[in-house]
Structures are given as structure tokens and as C-alpha cells.
Structure 1
Amino acid sequence: MERILAGQAALVTGSTSGIGLGIAKIYAEAGARVMLNGFGRPEEIAAARAEIGALMGMAEAPYSATDMSKPEEVRGMVAEAEKAFGKLDILVNNAGIQFVSPVQDFPAAKWDAIIAINLSSNFHAIAAALPGMLERKHGRILNVASAHGLVASPYKTAYVAAKHGVVGLTKSVALEIAQSPVTCNAICPGFVRTPLAEAQVKPLAEKFGVSEEAALKDHLLEKQPSKRWIEVEEVARMALYLVGPGSGGVNGSALSIDGGWLAA
């Protein structure tokens, strides 16, 4: 891969697996130095650090175990990345959690956690990273929202509210920095093939008494007209474009990558 991000430094939250790890990988392949963040089993985190580190010519990638529900830790993580790299050119807010329940039964603690991790952490990270970007006259902020940042589904009130908030936050920040060289955009993926998402297929097949292929197409991907997974690499390539050369004119956008979901 062409090293279009050579010399740049990036922080990707929620990057020890799934979409975040895919973005961290493609950034490292493009020449960026990347700090990882996320939870998981120690061996999984070690494997992610080793994989990304190898792409950067290091034994392991820098890593922060920041709890994204705690504002002071989020802001401290940004400071840690700036100290490690001497600057921070790229901030990707990707960390997120999910919980599904009818609104009348939705646990208040789950609501608070989802809003804190999926939305408020983005605000705190942006507020901490933006001053340095503006001072250096270069920066890219990328928020990983969701198709659910643009449309709703039942039983996901906290997630939908948070992701709608992420899109609104993206637009507001973009307007504030519109006359600077810094940009702020969002990616809105549909159903992406990750281990957590794939794990939903078998229970759906059992619930409806159908094959796993039918469960995937007719139930999990019901709203995704392509009837196929969005691949992590597809999201990562969009994330690479939005922080790379020639992307400066894209600001305040919420770009869909959802197999036609929003076109329906």
C-alpha cells in the first residue's frame, strides 16, 4: 500500500477488534503511527498490538486501556497519545457498545453507559485533541457512527439516540472548524461482518427455524438491500480516504456504507 499517511500520528478508540482494528491496520499500512485502545482478553489485545506494531516496524503498538465511559480518562488518553507521538494528526472515535430492549424495560444503567461510551466519549476526545490540531493547522477527526445515526430501529433506543447524537456532533464541530485545515466527518456503516455480528446469525436461525443463510438475509440483513455483509476492509478504506490526501473538502459529512439501506 502507498504510504500516504507517512509521518502522521493516529489514535483509534475501540481498536482491539472489529472495525477499529481494521482502521488501525490500514492506517499503519499507510505509514501512520497508531495508538490502540479497547477492552478484551489480554491475549487478544497482545495480538492486536503485535499485528499493528509489526506494520509500523515496532515490537508492539502503543496501547491505552482507557475506560471510555470516564471523561477524565478519555481526555488523558488524548494527552498520552500526543506525548507518545509528539502530536496527534488523526482521531478516530470508534468505541461503542450495544444493548437491545423495549424502551419501557430498558435499564437506566445501560442507557447511561451507551450514551457515555458511544456519544460523550467522542465529545471529550474531540475537545482534547482539537486545540493541538488547530495550532498545527492540520487534523482529521473521524467519528464512526452507524446507519442508526441516520435512521431508527425498534428496541435500540440508547444506541440510536447516541449515534444520531454522533452525527449531530460531527456536523456542529465541522461548522466550528470550517475555515481551518481541520475536518470532522462521520462514517455510517450498516451491518459489518465482525465476530460479534456473525454470532447473531445462529440464534436467529434457531428462533425462526430456518437455515443460517436465510436467517442472515431475511432477518439480520432485512433492511440492507444488498443482503450481504459490509466488510471491515470496506469501512477501513473509507476511513483511509477521509483522513488522507485530497479529503480536505469533505467536512461535516455522514457517509453511508450500508448496502443501500438508506436508499430504500
Structure 2
Amino acid sequence: MAQPPLKETIMLKGKTALITGSTSGIGKAIATRLAAEGCNIVLNGFGDSGEIDALKRSLAAEHSVMVGYSSADLTRVPAIENMMSYVQSEFGGADILVNNAGMQHVSPVEDFPVDKWNLIIALNLSAAFHTIRLGLPGMKEKGWGRIIQTASAHALVASPYKAAYVAAKHGIAGLTKTVALEGATHGVRCNAICPGYVHTPLVDAQITDTAKARGISEDEVVKNVILAAQPTKEFVTAEQIGDMAAFLCSPAADQINGALLPIDGGWTAQ
């Protein structure tokens, strides 16, 4: 059941939110939540064109908002620049920017493929820099803006075999704090949401594969492998992250700036 909009965020009606990596998973949940607050939405990501069109129609019809889409490959700077130009020309720029797109690769450092390192840094870190450098001036000019990074618990702690991902997310943490300081007197706030493991179709596939590989039940995989680091032994939901994003855009969060906000069941409390 959809959550009712936060009363404080009625002011978001008519604003525009660009959410990268929003055709599925966490980004889709954030886009859906902000649309419920009255935001015009610009989706970005890859996927089946029919499914993306259906998502656009659904968000527009249910929430009476404008919905755009960019297929920009965020590992390519010219593509990012074209996406930001599109948002400017069609929507007057992004009032809310959510840097959510990302990917993962697991390998020991000495075996980590150089091309995977470069790809992960480009998508998980450099893309956020480019969207911010292009979107921040418009926010400053308007005197209001919200930049939200979907970081990770790995922006705060490390895990083995995830060198590129952990490095990128720690970089996002530093970028978030720097942008928060630069935008502070211009009405711009920049924060990072740091989720633990989120229950997505991708994780479901990992659970099934791990259970087969280890010869244990899927319940054991969830409790003893996937959620071993999360004291609650419960997944974070994409909807919870969407709710946090909406809160960070509300007046109640006006003085939250440069924060790294864990939603991880206690993982980083240990």
C-alpha cells in the first residue's frame, strides 16, 4: 500500500526531480515517492523501452505530474551533459538531484579487472560529480535545491573484495560534505543516504545462486550470509529509502546538510 505524502513536503509540487538509475529498484522507489509529493520526474537508466514507457505513464497519471526520461550512459561525460541540457530545456533544470546509479564487482584487489575499476569509479563517483557541477548553478540561482546521494553502508565501512565500490562510496561521502559546504548559504542542501542490504530482484537472484553454491537453504543465506552484517537481520526496503529522500526534501530537514545517514539495521553501529 502506498504511503501517504508527508504533509510538510506539499511545497514540492511543481519542482523537478532528476533521479539517475531510476528505471528499477531503489531509484524507481525514490522517483515514485517524490512524484507522490508533486514533483515532476526525470527518469534515467537502462531497461526495456516498453516497461520504461509504462512507468512514465503510470507516474504521470497517478500523481498528475510531468515525467521525462533520459537514456544517458552516465559513464560518458558528453551523455551526462546532454541529459542535463535536456532537463534544463524541458523542465527548467533540476530542483532535486538524486545521484542513485551504480554498479558492483567483487574481486580481490590483486585480481580486480582494471576495466571494472574504471567503470565503477566512473558510474558510482564521477557521474555524481558531473551532474552536480552542471546542476548546482541553477539551484544556487533559484535559492533552493536538494542533492541526495544514494551512497551505501560502504561509504562508512569497508568489506573485502569490493575495492572499487568502497573507494567510490567513500568518495561520494567526501563529495557530499564538500558540496554541502559550498551550497549552504545558497539554499542548497546535499546529503547522502547510506543503505545496508536492500531487498531487490538482483539480491533475490544472489540468494538463489548462493544457496545452490553452498548447499544451504535460502533462509540460511539471508540470515547468515546476506544479512550477517545487519543486526536486525532484516532487509532495508526501497520504499524506506524513498521515504528518507522525501524527508530530506521537506522543510523539517532544512538544517540537515552534509550528513551521511545510515539505513542499515545497525550495521555501522558495530
Please state how far the C-alpha of 1:238 moved relative to its aligned partner: 0.4
Q: Which runs of 5+ in 2 are unaligned?
A: none
1:159 aligns with: 165
Please state how far the C-alpha of 1:76 moved relative to its aligned partner: 2.2
User: What secondary structure, in the 3-state scheme, does the structure 1 residue paired with 2:253 have?
Assistant: coil
Alpha-carbon contact 1:17-1:48 (below 8 Å) kept: no
In the alignment, which of 99, 107, 120 is matched to residue 126 of structure 2?
120
Q: Which runs of 5+ in 1 are unaligned?
A: none
Are residue 43 (structure 1) and residue 45 (structure 2) matched?
no
User: What secondary structure, in the 3-state scheme, does the structure 1 residue paired with 2:244 have?
Assistant: helix
Kindly indicate which of the two structures has a greater share of residues assigned to helix: 2
TM-score, normalised via structure 2 length? 0.94
In the alignment, which of 168, 178, 203 is matched to residue 197 of structure 1?
203
Are residue 135 (structure 1) and residue 152 (structure 2) matched?
no
Q: Give CA deviations for 1:52-93 in whole Å, capped at 9, x if unaligned.
A: 2223436x8210000000112212212211211123210000
- How does 1:1-264 map onto structure 2 within 5 Å? 1-2=4-5, 4=10, 5-57=12-64, 61-264=67-270
Q: d(CA) in 1 for partners of 2:88 and 2:110?
A: 43
Q: d(CA) in 1 for partners of 2:62 and 2:168?
A: 33
Q: Kindly tell me the number of residue pairs found equivalent between the two proteins.
A: 263
| Percentage of matched positions with identical amino acids | 50
Please state how far the C-alpha of 1:143 moved relative to its aligned partner: 0.7
Please state how far the C-alpha of 1:197 moved relative to its aligned partner: 1.4
Please state how far the C-alpha of 1:207 moved relative to its aligned partner: 2.2
Amino acid at match of 1:70: R
Q: d(CA) in 2 for partners of 1:13 and 1:109?
A: 22
Alpha-carbon contact 1:177-1:183 (below 8 Å) kept: yes
Please state how far the C-alpha of 1:180 moved relative to its aligned partner: 2.0
Which fold has the larger relative contact order, with Cα–Cα distance below 8 Å and residues 6 or more apart in sequence?
2
User: What secondary structure, in the 3-state scheme, does the structure 2 residue paired with 1:184 have?
Assistant: strand
User: What secondary structure, in the 3-state scheme, does the structure 2 residue paired with 1:98 have?
Assistant: coil
Q: Give CA deviations for 1:162-198 in whole Å, capped at 9, x if unaligned.
A: 0110011000111112222111100000000111112
Amino acid at match of 1:93: N
User: What secondary structure, in the 3-state scheme, does the structure 1 residue paired with 2:127 have?
Assistant: helix
User: What secondary structure, in the 3-state scheme, does the structure 1 residue paired with 2:41 have?
Assistant: strand
Q: d(CA) in 2 for partners of 1:27 and 1:41?
A: 23
Alpha-carbon contact 2:195-2:263 (below 8 Å) kept: yes
Alpha-carbon contact 2:84-2:93 (below 8 Å) kept: no
User: What secondary structure, in the 3-state scheme, does the structure 1 residue paired with 2:265 have?
Assistant: coil
Deviates more, 1:10-19 or 1:99-108: 99-108
Amino acid at match of 2:19: V
User: What secondary structure, in the 3-state scheme, does the structure 2 residue paired with 1:215 have?
Assistant: helix
Please state how far the C-alpha of 1:142 moved relative to its aligned partner: 0.5
Alpha-carbon contact 2:22-2:28 (below 8 Å) kept: yes
Q: d(CA) in 2 for partners of 1:175 and 1:11?
A: 22
